[in-house]
């Protein structure tokens, strides 16, 4: 019995010391972060999570929130919703003022809860469903939403490829959408891109269901061939997009390829090889290593905090993580200056005071208003050509379709 | 292990006394104290974080109760229970959102209570469908057929069709105020906690009561030896299917409860891993014991959260610890199952049983 006490008592003592060790830290601004390092979306989630951590180091090294250091509680939730809920409750208990979320799963699951709790939730899911403040007031992000990006990418292809082609005056261009029907992320911009296709005079073929985990898409490509599309919209992530364009290449589908932001990154050419040549995609920020303001900082912090990962293996996901941190930090700085560093303060005195705010890193300036949380109407479209990403267009939807932008396109 | 020794000097004179709920005044007092603790102490003592964890414990109990019934009491190993929870959650949500309830019924707040009952029945019937193979197969093969429930129900039917109802292509979210019972709108952790307590008590008492009946004895007989049970005249197919129905029924209640906790659902809320987790809960708590479900659920939620809090304090010294915590948690889950199976095969419930007997037999506990 005495031996057991000798073992158990020190164990409890050690646990107690660790449990209360954190209370010795001075005044800090607490931020929670949910990331996926082990779950279904970890292929892109790992790099994003590294970007979040490195960016907060950068912010703290550069003055934090008006001198207050940010303490980030960053958890891998494995893309499990019950885990996300538990961790979110933990963030509330820790008095976190803001949460950096991840994908569609946790963002949509927690959307009613964060609205009730008035907790700004900055996600890597850019669904247009999250941009209407009357429905999801506390869901925010720095990027153009998926629907805006889809409209812009199709427009860019129409302007730069179709309008210069020989067929343009002879017939309508043909579009097919290839994505996983059941995935909320993949299906989010489909209604918008079809609406845009109608606006630009496209003929739209039957959608093709390609799983996010697809290793073969030949049957879908063969189905597409019957329609003879001029361009294919890929709504999945890079791995399955690579599968589809590789099969399209080998089966001789004569069509251009355009993708969502998560569909093209530095891994796509590695996975798809020659088939990736000419693929176009929207990107809400620069690709890793591009010559844009602040990229040197990103590279320096990547090297400092994750020296084991070579620079050429880092992805645009790192930059996306940085951008969400930078926009959240700016909102917190503004709210703190206004003396209201609360969830509601961060929204109203932080985000909703930003007008054409430039984050750097190749982003377009962002604006949030109390009635419209679409950060920007401008989208940069890149093309993979000759071994590098080249910007082919910077489409401004608001400038080209001001009425629809103002009155019709919010929230879908 | 099923019977606790009575305190010295007490004995039963008939069968109904032997099966009684409150066999001694001490047990009655203990239950009253537990009731007071659950309804009048904990909600006032716990903050939102621990109330949230208590709600997770309740959700785990409701999920694991059905698994315990199937595995622990009827011997039908299942690895697809998350599917029946999903059926309950979606049935309840669809009934609330898509049925044109008369305004008077909405005002009276009976849509959600009705949806809970309907969800339980639908999930129960759905569970019976996937229980049908148990008439022909058992053991390893039955595990595979129950796994099919997950793939067919969640990955195919719900993901491809049910979650697309209304053409939304995203999670169903329930507008504020739609989850209410009578005039009571469930919109805070503490209200969810009260609902959880009521549902857990009803389901636990219901299962415990069933186990005292002919049906419960038949289940146990099938678990112990299905051939002998059949030789004794028990219709094993009917009783196995009834076990699947009750397990699915409780799973449906769990699913309905889950929507009150988040006010949103998508197929991602019900991964196959959750079924595995529930089996882990009963292995750690103790197979074949209702106490085991409760202890296992508390262990899996509270211990994991304490680990998480410990990791958080250490994160100042080991910055990567939080991001690697999911690996630690899963390793701890696996390790806990191994340790319990090797050193405590009857689970935490066995320790509880030993402890009770120690005090009941004191001072003659040897």
Residue A154, domain CATH: 3.40.50.2300
Residue A300 lies in a domain: yes
The reply to whether A307 and A279 lie within a common domain is: no
Report pLDDT digits (tens) over B241-274.
999 999 999 999 999 999 998 888 888 889 888 9
**What's the pLDDT band for B170 if we cut at 50, 70, 90?**
low
pLDDT at A21 over 60: no
Higher-pLDDT residue of B8, A83: A83
User: What pLDDT is stored for residue B26 in this prediction?
Assistant: 85
Alpha-carbon distance of A409 to B15, in angstroms, equals 72
Report CB contact under 8 Å: B160, A181: yes
The reply to whether A278 and A395 lie within a common domain is: yes
DSSP code of residue B303: I
Long-range contacts of A17-20, Cβ-Cβ distance < 8 Å, separation of 24 or more: A18/B310, A18/B313, A18/B314, A19/B309, A19/B310, A19/B313, A20/B313
Q: Which helix (H) or strand (E) holds B280?
A: helix B272-285
Residue A62 lies in a domain: yes
User: What pLDDT is stored for residue B309 in this prediction?
Assistant: 85
Contact present, A312 and A305 (Cβ < 8 Å): no
SS3 A28: strand
SS3 A121: strand
Alpha-carbon distance of B78 to A32, in angstroms, equals 36
Residue A14 lies in a domain: no
Report CB contact under 8 Å: B269, A73: no
Alpha-carbon distance of A55 to A52, in angstroms, equals 5
Q: Does the bond joining B363 to the residue before it have cis omega, within 30 degrees of 0?
A: yes
Show residues of chain B in contact with A112, CB under 8 Å: 173-174, 176, 262-264
The reply to whether A139 and A151 lie within a common domain is: no
**Average pLDDT over all residues of chain A:** 90
User: What pLDDT is stored for residue A2 in this prediction?
Assistant: 47
Report pLDDT digits (tens) over A290-348.
999 999 999 999 999 999 999 989 999 999 999 999 999 999 999 999 999 999 999 99
Residue B229 lies in a domain: yes
Report CB contact under 8 Å: A19, B313: yes
Residue A240 lies in a domain: yes
CA distance A79 to chain B (A): 8
- Which residue in the set B267, B271, B305 is minimally distant from A80, CB to CB? B271
The reply to whether A239 and A156 lie within a common domain is: yes
Report pLDDT digits (tens) over B222-234.
999 999 999 999 9
Alpha-carbon distance of B228 to A410, in angstroms, equals 67
Contact present, A115 and A88 (Cβ < 8 Å): no
Alpha-carbon distance of A117 to A123, in angstroms, equals 16
Alpha-carbon distance of A335 to A66, in angstroms, equals 10
- ipTM for this model: 0.78
With 0-12 CB in 10 A as exposed, 13-18 as middle and 19+ as buried, what is B277? buried
Task: Tell me what the mean pLDDT of segment A388-405 comes to.
Answer: 95
DSSP code of residue B165: G
User: What pLDDT is stored for residue A118 in this prediction?
Assistant: 95
With 0-12 CB in 10 A as exposed, 13-18 as middle and 19+ as buried, what is A57? middle
Task: Tell me what the mean pLDDT of segment B353-363 comes to.
Answer: 82
**Contact A127/B at CB under 8 A:** yes
Nearest CA in chain A to B327: A38
Q: Kindly state the tokens that stand for B90.
A: 């979606």
Task: Tell me what the mean pLDDT of segment B104-124 comes to.
Answer: 93
The reply to whether A134 and A152 lie within a common domain is: no
* Site from A109, A139, A308 to mutate, B interface, most B CB atoms within 10 angstroms: A109
**What's the pLDDT band for B135 if we cut at 50, 70, 90?**
confident
Q: Kindly state the tokens that stand for B247.
A: 């397990």
CA proximity to B326, closest of B303, B306, B304, B310? B304
State the DSSP string of A306-361: -TTS-GGG--HHHHHHHHHHHHHHHHHHHHHHTT--SHHHIIIIIGGG-SSB---T
State the DSSP string of A190-226: HHHHHHHHHHHT-EE---EE--TT-S--HHHHHHHHH
Report CB contact under 8 Å: B322, A85: no
Contact present, B54 and B42 (Cβ < 8 Å): yes
Alpha-helical runs (H) found in B78-232: 81-98, 103-108, 111-131, 140-149, 189-211, 214-224, 226-231
Show residues of chain A in contact with B170, CB under 8 Å: 104, 108, 127, 129, 184, 187-188
Show residues of chain A in contact with B59, CB under 8 Å: 82
Residue A12 lies in a domain: no
Residue A15 lies in a domain: no
Residue B253 lies in a domain: yes
Helix axes B272-285, B347-361, angle to 10 degrees: 20
**Contact A38/B at CB under 8 A:** yes
The reply to whether A296 and A275 lie within a common domain is: no
Instruction: Report how far apart, in Å, the C-alpha atoms of B340 and of each of A47, B330, B349 are.
Output: 37, 15, 11
Residue B141 lies in a domain: yes
Report pLDDT digits (tens) over A128-185.
989 999 989 999 999 999 999 999 999 999 999 999 988 888 899 999 999 988 777 8
Q: Which helix (H) or strand (E) holds A378?
A: strand A378-385
The C-alpha torsion from A129 through A133 and A135 to A140, rounded to 10°, is: 50
Interface of A with B in 166-185 (CB under 8 A): 181-182, 184
Alpha-carbon distance of B283 to B300, in angstroms, equals 11
The reply to whether A338 and A358 lie within a common domain is: yes
**What's the pLDDT band for A12 if we cut at 50, 70, 90?**
low
Alpha-carbon distance of B110 to A399, in angstroms, equals 50
Alpha-carbon distance of B330 to B326, in angstroms, equals 6
- Cβ neighbours of residue A143 under 8 Å, at least 6 residues apart? A126, A149, A261, A284, A285, A320, A323, A363, A375, A376
Task: Tell me what the mean pLDDT of segment B114-139 comes to.
Answer: 94
Alpha-helical runs (H) found in A237-311: 238-250, 267-272, 295-305
- Cβ neighbours of residue B177 under 8 Å, at least 6 residues apart? B185, B187
pLDDT at A3 over 60: no
Residue B3 lies in a domain: no
User: What pLDDT is stored for residue A26 in this prediction?
Assistant: 56
Report CB contact under 8 Å: A81, B262: yes
Instruction: Report how far apart, in Å, the C-alpha atoms of B196 and of each of A270, B57, B82, B173, B202 are.
Output: 50, 9, 18, 20, 10
What is the count of structural domains for chain A? Answer: 2
Say how many CA atoms lie within 13 Å of A148 toward its Cβ.
35
**Contact A78/B at CB under 8 A:** yes
User: What pLDDT is stored for residue B169 in this prediction?
Assistant: 56
CB neighbourhood size of B313 (10 A) = 18
Q: Kindly state the tokens that stand for A337.
A: 């200056």
CA distance B358 to chain A (A): 17
Report pLDDT digits (tens) over A232-278.
999 998 989 999 999 999 999 999 999 999 999 999 999 999 999 99
Residue A8 lies in a domain: no
pLDDT at A19 over 50: no
User: What pLDDT is stored for residue B3 in this prediction?
Assistant: 61
Place of tokens 């088939």: A275
Residue B81 lies in a domain: yes
Report pLDDT digits (tens) over B297-343.
999 999 888 888 888 888 777 777 777 777 788 888 889 889 998 98
The reply to whether A44 and A140 lie within a common domain is: yes
Residue A400 lies in a domain: yes
Counted across chains A and B, CB pairs separated by less than 8 A come out at 129
pLDDT at A22 over 50: no
**What's the pLDDT band for B175 if we cut at 50, 70, 90?**
confident
What is the count of structural domains for chain B? Answer: 1
Residue B247 lies in a domain: yes
Q: Which of A252-261, B18-27, B153-162 has the lowest mean pLDDT?
A: B18-27
Range of the domain at A219: 147-283+380-407
User: What pLDDT is stored for residue B118 in this prediction?
Assistant: 97
Q: Which helix (H) or strand (E) holds B310?
A: helix B304-314
Instruction: Report how far apart, in Å, the C-alpha atoms of B131 and of each of A85, A346, B244 are.
Output: 32, 52, 6
The reply to whether A140 and A74 lie within a common domain is: yes
**Average pLDDT over all residues of chain B:** 89
Q: Which of A7-16, A288-297, B75-84, B186-195 has the lowest mean pLDDT?
A: A7-16
Q: Kindly state the tokens that stand for A73.
A: 């509680």
The reply to whether A249 and A322 lie within a common domain is: no
User: What pLDDT is stored for residue B41 in this prediction?
Assistant: 96
> Exposure pattern of B344-353 as b/e (b: 16+ CB <10 Å)?
eebbbbbebb
Range of the domain at B160: 47-271
Report pLDDT digits (tens) over B179-214.
899 889 998 889 999 999 999 999 999 999 999 999
Say how many CA atoms lie within 13 Å of A93 toward its Cβ.
17
CA distance B294 to chain A (A): 18
């Amino acid at each position: 019995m005495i031996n057991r006490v000798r073992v158990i008592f020190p164990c409890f003592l050690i646990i107690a010391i660790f449990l209360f060790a954190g209370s010795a830290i001075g005044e800090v601004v607490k931020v929670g972060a949910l990331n996926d390092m082990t779950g279904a979306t970890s292929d892109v989630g790992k790099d994003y999570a590294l970007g979040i951590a490195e960016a907060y180091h950068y912010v703290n090294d550069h003055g934090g929130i008006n001198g207050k250091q940010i303490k980030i509680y960053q958890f891998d939730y494995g893309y499990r919703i019950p885990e996300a809920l538990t961790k979110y409750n933990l963030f509330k208990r820790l008095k976190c003022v803001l949460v950096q979320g991840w994908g569609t799963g946790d963002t949509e699951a927690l959307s009613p809860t964060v609205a009730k709790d008035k907790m700004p939730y900055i996600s890597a899911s850019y669904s247009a469903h999250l941009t209407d403040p009357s429905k999801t007031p506390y869901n925010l992000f720095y990027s153009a939403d998926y629907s805006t990006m889809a409209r812009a990418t199709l427009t860019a292809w129409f302007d730069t490829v179709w309008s210069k082609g020989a067929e343009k005056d002879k017939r309508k261009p043909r579009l097919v959408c290839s994505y996983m029907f059941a995935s909320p992320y993949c299906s989010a911009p489909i209604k918008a891109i079809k609406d845009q296709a109608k606006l630009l005079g496209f003929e739209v073929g039957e959608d093709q269901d390609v799983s996010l985990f697809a290793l073969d898409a030949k049957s879908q490509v063969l189905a597409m061939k019957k329609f003879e599309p001029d361009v294919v919209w890929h709504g999945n992530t890079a791995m399955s997009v690579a599968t589809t364009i590789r099969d399209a290449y080998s089966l001789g589908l004569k069509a251009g390829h355009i993708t969502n932001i998560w569909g093209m990154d530095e891994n796509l050419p590695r996975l798809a090889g020659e088939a990736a040549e000419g693929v176009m995609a929207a990107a809400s920020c620069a690709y890793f290593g591009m010559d844009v303001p602040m990229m040197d900082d990103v590279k320096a912090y990547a090297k400092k905090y994750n020296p084991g990962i070579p620079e050429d293996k880092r992805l645009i996901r790192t930059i996306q993580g940085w951008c969400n941190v930078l926009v959240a930090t700016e909102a917190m700085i503004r709210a703190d200056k206004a003396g209201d560093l609360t969830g509601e303060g961060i929204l109203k005195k932080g985000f909703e005071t930003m007008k054409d705010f430039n984050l750097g890193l190749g982003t377009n300036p962002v604006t949030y208003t109390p009635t419209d949380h679409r950060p920007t109407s401008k989208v940069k479209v890149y093309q993979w050509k000759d071994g590098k990403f080249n910007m082919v267009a910077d489409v401004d939807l608001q400038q080209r379709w001001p009425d629809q932008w103002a009155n019709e396109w919010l929230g879908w | 292990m099923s019977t606790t020794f009575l305190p010295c000097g007490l004995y039963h004179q008939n069968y109904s006394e032997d099966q009684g709920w409150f066999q001694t005044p001490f047990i009655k007092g203990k239950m009253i104290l537990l009731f007071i603790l659950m309804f009048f102490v904990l909600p006032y003592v716990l903050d939102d974080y621990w109330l949230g964890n208590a709600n997770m414990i309740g959700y785990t109990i409701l999920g694991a109760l059905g698994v315990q019934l199937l595995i622990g009491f009827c011997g039908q190993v299942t690895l697809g229970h998350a599917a029946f929870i999903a059926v309950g959650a979606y049935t309840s949500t669809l009934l609330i959102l898509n049925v044109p309830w008369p305004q008077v019924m909405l005002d009276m707040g009976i849509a959600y209570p009705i949806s809970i009952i309907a969800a339980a029945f639908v999930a129960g019937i759905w569970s019976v469908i996937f229980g049908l193979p148990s008439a022909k197969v058992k053991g390893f093969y039955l595990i595979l057929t129950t796994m099919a429930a997950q793939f067919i129900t969640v990955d195919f039917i719900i993901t491809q069709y049910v979650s697309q109802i209304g053409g939304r292509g995203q999670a169903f979210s329930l507008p504020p105020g739609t989850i209410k019972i009578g005039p009571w709108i469930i919109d805070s952790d503490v209200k969810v906690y009260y609902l959880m307590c009521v549902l857990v008590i009803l389901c636990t008492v219901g299962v415990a009561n069933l186990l005292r009946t002919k049906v419960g004895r038949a289940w146990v007989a099938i678990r112990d030896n299905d051939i002998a049970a059949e030789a004794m005249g028990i219709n094993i197919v009917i009783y196995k299917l009834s076990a699947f129905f009750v397990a699915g029924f409780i799973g449906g209640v769990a699913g309905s409860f889950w929507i009150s906790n988040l006010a949103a659902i998508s197929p991602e809320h019900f991964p196959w891993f959750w079924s595995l987790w529930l089996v882990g809960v009963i292995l750690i708590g103790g197979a074949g014991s209702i106490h085991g479900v409760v202890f296992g659920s508390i262990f899996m939620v509270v211990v994991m959260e304490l680990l998480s809090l410990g990791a958080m304090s250490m994160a100042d010294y080991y910055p990567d610890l939080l991001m690697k915590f999911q690996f630690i948690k899963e390793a701890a889950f696996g390790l806990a199952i191994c340790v319990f199976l090797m050193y405590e095969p009857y689970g935490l419930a066995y320790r509880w049983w030993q402890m009770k007997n120690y005090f009941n037999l004191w001072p003659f506990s040897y």
